[in-house]
Amino acid sequence: MCVDVKSYLNTHPDMANINAEVMLWSPKLDNVTAGTIYDPRTKDWASVAGTCRQLFQYEKRLASFFIRASFHDSMSVDVSQCPGPLCGGADASLFLNIQEMARPENAYDDFSAIAARAAKKIASFFDISVADTLAVCAAVGPEVLSNGRIKILTGAGVGTLRVGRLDSIRPSPPGNLPPATATVEEFTAFWAARGITAAEAAALMGSHALIDTQACFNGNNINDYCTPAAPGDCTNVRMFRWENHYYEDICSPTLSITPLTPEDMAIDPAETPILGMTDPEMEAEARQETCKFTSAEGRAVAKSNLQQVRRGARAEAVVPAEPVLVTWGNKNCTAGAAYGINVTAQCPHPQQWFYTTNDAYMGQACQGVGSSVEAASIRNATRAYTRNQTAWDVVYRTAYVKMVSAFATWSPLVNTADTKFLINGGECPSGVHLEAACAQSSAGAATASTRDLYSGAYTGLLGTSLLGGDACTRCAQDVCAQAQHCGQCTAAFNNRLFMADNPLVTEARCCGCSTLIRPFRYNVTNKGSGGPVVIYTSFVARWPDVMPVATPQSSIPVDAGGAVPDRPLDSAAYNDAIAPTVTVMPAGSNPPLAPEGDASVICPAANGVIKVGGFPSSYHRLTPFTQAYTPSPRARLAASYKKSGTNLTVDAYEIDIYPVAKNIGCPGPATWLLTYNGTTPGPYIRALKGRQTLVRFNNRLTPANLAGTPFSPFHPCEGGRVGRPISVHLHGSASLAPYDGWAEDTTCGAETKDYYYPNWRAGFSWYHDHQLDITSENAYFGLSAMYTIHDRAAEGGCGEPWNMDALPDYEMQFKDAVLDSSCQLYYDRAGPHRNNLYGDINFVNGVPWPVATMEPRWNRFRWLVSSVSRPFKLRIVNAATGADVGGSVCKVVGGEGGARPTPVTFPAAGLFIGVAERYEVVCDFSGFAGQDLIMMNAYDDRRMKGVPFFCNSHLVMKINVRCSSTGCPGASTPAFMPPAANAVNPTVLDRVLNQSDINAALAMVAVKNCTRTFRFGRRHGHWVINGESWHTARVAASDVGHNTWEVWCLETGGGWFHPIHIHLVDFYVLARNWDVTQVHEYERNIGKDVVQLNPSGHVALLLRFGAHRGEYMFHCHNLMHEDFEMMRSFHVMPTAGSRTAGTALPMQYNPTLNLTLNYVYDLYDDPVYPAAGPKPTSTLTALRTAGTTTTAALSMPIDRGIYRIYYPFGSVNITSAAGALLANPTVNPWLVPICKPQAAAVP
């Protein structure tokens, strides 16, 4: 830029003379005068260091960028061209490298441009080179961020850092930084070629302690994230702390590094774009970004930039994917104690890898991976720095000085051994004050006194007998001959100003170099009688242009505002009535039905692993339809109890959890499984509605029982606790919070937990593991089982509709899996299963592609998808013709919340069942005697986006319809009895959500109004809900009113599908994509607890938040997504307005009821309520052993009335008044009707 400085000064009378000096600065190049006469010995290095120090104290992120810029500038060297003009290194050429400056981590927030401007500003202000500015400021950075613990520039004594670097006009040599995928050996070779030892390289890499992907993470524990908007200070989060947490992190087991092919990379989902984000998402994103700044200005700009991207006024920086996957698991985390890790503080660590791939390779070396000399050197160094922070400081200081000096080009004035100049950062040879407020308080061009001051002459300040010669100059250098001279110089200087007695010109501010002055200010204008206007310019190098101007903070970019575009929805309607064509293959073919894909590719004849969509198949080729269908084993009753004088009962079951090796049909060793009572699926519990249950789970996954199996201990079962943790969730039960299976309600090995379940309504449930971080692994390896609550009249219930309790009942769990060459379940969350787990073998009740024989009559099915990630779209077709059968002979009669109001036709296109969804179906096979049917999994190109279909993924099981040995069913055989026209089966939800509630909710949806909106997406490598995950912000809704209803709107933040499970409640699906007609008939008007959220889809739900209070979870039931933290919580509580809200049940208004319910919920509100927690198994008596302890365990829920809202009798803690109200169904709609007298069951 060409500027006529005199003309500029004449037209800008508010500018101080210093602006001209700044504008006249010239780069210190070797071929121009500014470079050849550059003499660092005459510069105020104390002022340079002081300015950097103050800049970093005000905005710490600039410190980390200066350090990073100095590293890249110094080490971007073509060693084959050294020495010489093409060598590079410590010459500010980094700022000329467009590729480097445009890297997303540098370009985001305009950070590279701003930091480059700051470096040039400081260089021009002090008339030094930009290269020296980088070196000096980067030396000051650790001092500021360590609170003075490490000082490269000591401020006194012998110089430590050489200065006099010249700048370059050439960009830094391209391709001379190590690739992100460099191994330890390649990495150390890079440093060695530049004269840096392995130990020094390891010390320099410790600067990655400042890496900004940590954002709000404080690091005191896995949940410790700072919130900038909350009370407290987020200016000292981990990314701003110069400490050895970097080494503790990279040395903490277990790191896995996996090279990726393009096919592997294709399975990774794209991040949810900022464009079109909702307000809660933006709040989370702003929290993440504002944590990266410590100044108000920095945070303001970050928010402004986000808003611009959200509206589409600015492009989002996209970080390109690396062909290497780094995963950081907590298995064996405590092993780091062997080499100095404080595992009590470090384990568990976050799952997100904050650092680079280079750091991961170094971490593996520290953890013991690699036997090369280079790996050993890195191992020794990193372990030493982990144990001793001071040792790191010492080596870093030496290594840094070496790095920024090795390849620098020096000014000819200091280019020899005799003339080289080293500074300690305290040099102030000119005595110049750089505080403009001390220089001038009046408007207009600089006065003679100001010019004298900036020239260092001070000739106009003589005139008192006490001052003579260079006294004031020496005072400005902080070397006053006499103590009183400083004050006298200040007074004399004040007397020469046009505006005498400037309050800013004080002894404290004006004696000594500017390093002694904390606020860095300009006093540039005089607004009438108001006196001078002082502008704080602590951040002047960041926001304005190169010239300080007397303008307010409007120079900070501000988003102009405007509409936020809606995310496009895939709102095309589905047609469930159209049955796709099925091609039957010739007799004897495998598969018998044409696969979904090219059979020549996905159906190889020989054993071996193939990949489909990046997901591996099993090694062995198992043949479908060779094993018999097997029902789940029935749970054995351990004990039963009836409370005298009541009709209340408790039935008890005891389940042991331990590993078992089982032959599942694979031609090799038995397959190791995790089991409930030795089976997978586990024991099927059938409970009668109205009979409470106690299910005791004994965790036998101790180290001794895990030895020799593929399973290992895991946190938090360490220290005084041992083994592999579990937490059991009865999915579909409105249980009290401590019995709901909270993900952090851990039962370790040799511990036992008693779970009490209310069984308050007939429905279709299941129980499975829910342990934090390893739910997918525990469930995949077998920890799941059926649990249904029936109402059969023949067994003491009130009866089930449509004669369904008289039909043969088949319960079926569908899941997929993949087996390795040793017939073990393959699970690799560090590789192909990092986001989804898809297998090529479909199991039904643990049997691959079974064959079932059923009679030609009405049959009842209970279908559960218990896979980790794969949904199923079930069809029943004729095996001989491929013709659709299900659409003509089957009805959908129920689901998670029990029976439907009316049956609906089975969709010919297939019944879509997402993970954890359940449906009940009845089918009339009377017309198919002697025929074979195939249950298949139909591919859905919209709802199964990215789901691989292997050779037999479309096959589920075979059904041979045959008459029994006694003959075919006749007219007297019980059959399904559909309801009469307009007859409706009353459901449980009808009691707590009436038609007026439903109409009000539908009216909200019609105008796109929701009580709460949750967007399920992916940000910063995390699966998130509204931009947050379990560990960053667990509670998503802290004020859900007890017994009120709300409309929740769920939507995807990208092109993925998510089966969403909401604990505690049954809900209605009101609309899809804001359209009530897009709700599938089989999911309409039925109580559900899981809903399939389609790719680019939106769903509106109506939820009644009862019967209990407490904190509960909601999450994606794709268990890989759940384990990677797509889970948050909501808290049901008596909010200020809930008792009078129009959406509240009338019972909320009754103080007597509130008082008696408070007795329970004040205790059981906490999901980890200690009294309900696990106990050592050794202290308990088996429930099958009759006695007082068993009776006490069985009677507890009745004696204490913990489920009194369902069963208001039997407890002395319920007053007669409260009991009468609770027992009145018109007052308490949650009351459970028990139609027949109950007795204790016989085990």
pLDDT tens for 1100-1133 read 999 999 999 999 999 999 999 999 999 999 999 9
User: What residue numbers bound the domain in which 478 lies?
Assistant: 436-552
In a domain, 1193, yes or no: no
What single-letter DSSP state applies at residue 410?
B
1094, 1127: one domain: yes
648, 632: one domain: yes
Residue 537 has pLDDT above 90, yes or no: no
Q: Which of 1141, 834, 882 is nearest to 1011 (CA)?
A: 1141
489, 418: one domain: no
908, 851: one domain: yes
462, 410: one domain: no
pLDDT at residue 492, rounded to an integer:
66
Residue 555 has pLDDT above 90, yes or no: no
Band of pLDDT at residue 533, cut at 50, 70 and 90: very low
Residue 445 has pLDDT above 70, yes or no: no
Give the pLDDT confidence of 1176-1192 residue by residue, as tens digits: 999 999 999 999 999 99
Give the pLDDT confidence of 559-579 residue by residue, as tens digits: 778 899 998 999 888 899 999
Residues 1029, 1037: Cα–Cα separation, whole Å: 13
Mean pLDDT lowest for which of 402-416, 432-446, 636-650? 432-446
Residues 772, 745: Cα–Cα separation, whole Å: 9
In a domain, 151, yes or no: yes
Give the pLDDT confidence of 989-1046 residue by residue, as tens digits: 999 999 999 999 999 999 999 999 999 999 988 899 999 999 989 999 999 999 999 9
Residue 9 has pLDDT above 50, yes or no: no
pLDDT at residue 559, rounded to an integer:
75
- Work out the average pLDDT over 1130-1137: 90
| Helix/strand/coil (H/E/C) assignment for every residue in 945-986 | CCCCCCCCCCEEEEEEECCECCECCCCCCCCCCCCCCCCCCC
Which one of 1101, 1118, 1148 terminates a domain?
1148
Residues 730, 712: Cα–Cα separation, whole Å: 25
Which one of 1129, 1148, 1167 terminates a domain?
1148
% of the chain with per-residue pLDDT over 90? 68
633, 545: one domain: no
517, 647: one domain: no
In a domain, 957, yes or no: yes
Mean pLDDT lowest for which of 26-30, 757-761, 1046-1050, 1210-1214? 26-30
Residues 391, 380: Cα–Cα separation, whole Å: 12
Residue 811 has pLDDT above 70, yes or no: yes
613, 685: one domain: yes
Q: What's the CATH number where 660 sits? A: 2.60.40.420
In a domain, 625, yes or no: yes
Band of pLDDT at residue 102, cut at 50, 70 and 90: low
Residue 795 has pLDDT above 70, yes or no: yes
pLDDT at residue 465, rounded to an integer:
45
Q: Which residue has the tokens 């101007």?
A: 549
947, 832: one domain: yes
Residues 949, 601: Cα–Cα separation, whole Å: 12
- Work out the average pLDDT over 852-873: 98
- Work out the average pLDDT over 520-543: 35
659, 737: one domain: yes
In a domain, 188, yes or no: no
Band of pLDDT at residue 11, cut at 50, 70 and 90: very low
1005, 857: one domain: no
792, 688: one domain: yes
Question: What are 767's two structure tokens?
Answer: 């129980």
Contacts of 563 (CB under 8 A, 6+ apart): 311
Strands 1127-1133 and 1110-1116: antiparallel
In a domain, 748, yes or no: yes
Domain count, the chain: 4
Which one of 1094, 1127, 1148 terminates a domain?
1148
pLDDT at residue 332, rounded to an integer:
86
Residue 530 has pLDDT above 90, yes or no: no
Q: What is the overall mean pLDDT for the chain?
A: 87
Whole-Å CA distances, 1241 to 203, 642, 677, 1152: 69, 9, 21, 35
- Work out the average pLDDT over 924-929: 97
Give the pLDDT confidence of 581-625 residue by residue, as tens digits: 999 999 888 899 999 999 999 999 999 999 999 999 999 999 999
In a domain, 954, yes or no: yes
pLDDT at residue 110, rounded to an integer:
61
**What is the sign, positive or negative, of the torsion defined by CA atoms of 210, 213, 215, 220?**
negative
In a domain, 192, yes or no: no
Band of pLDDT at residue 435, cut at 50, 70 and 90: very low
Residue 1226 has pLDDT above 50, yes or no: yes
Cis-peptide, bond into residue 669, ω within 30° of zero: no
Q: What's the CATH number where 171 sits? A: 1.10.520.10
Give the pLDDT confidence of 216-258 residue by residue, as tens digits: 999 888 989 998 877 778 999 999 999 999 999 999 998 999 9
